[in-house]
Amino acid sequence: MEKSFARKLNWKPLLNSLIFGAAIGSFVYIIFRHDLTAGIIWGLIGFFIQSMVIYPRYLPSLYGQWKITEGNVSYYDYSTWTKRIKAIFLPLAKKQKAISFDDILSYSLVVTKKSNKWTPHYIILKVDDGHDVALDLSWNLLKSGAPQKDVEWVVDFITNKLNQKTVKVLQA
């Protein structure tokens, strides 16, 4: 059995950056009385700011798909800024990294409080190599259907797989 969470990485961040750069370039071209050089320069600046500063910051929460199976958890590794930029420019080349349940020491559930209601935000896996892996749950909570059931299922599943008696709940 396999269950997926969040949205899969695709070409949309790169295409949005190109459109943003073209819009800025066109605007500058028109404002500066048809100066093509200024339009191209400002368009490239807008493209690079969008694709190398803005999108990498939000990439894990926008395109942080992860999967859980009987044997492991697969996720996109966005641990460094360089990995995030590579994912934007080469989304089809980016492969998910898998962690076996044997390599997971423990996990925690991070929740946020909105309007006196606790909402799960993401799961943090403590891996035996010393790293923490954050798995986003917020995207699934926005979808229609019964997203709380998905979150409850994954919490119960990981708890059983790790033979953990309780789940450590952290407030964001």
Q: Where are the domains of the chain?
A: 97-171
Q: What are the residues facing 120 on neighbouring strands?
A: 111
What's the pLDDT score for residue 130?
86
What's the pLDDT score for residue 114?
76
What's the pLDDT score for residue 144?
52
Kindly calculate the radius of gyration of the chain based on its CA atoms and give it in whole angstroms. 20
Angle at which helices 36-49 and 12-31 cross, to 10°: 150
What's the CATH fold of domain 97-171?
A: 3.30.720
Q: Which residues contact 99 (CB under 8 A, 6 or more apart)?
A: 72, 73, 74, 75, 125, 127, 133
Mean pLDDT of successive 10-residue stretches along the chain, which has 172 residues? 87 96 95 90 96 94 91 93 95 92 90 79 88 86 67 85 79 75
| pTM to 2 decimal places | 0.82
DSSP assigned state of 34: S
Q: What value, to the nearest 5°, has the Cα angle with vertex 123 and ends 120 and 125?
A: 165
What's the pLDDT score for residue 54?
95
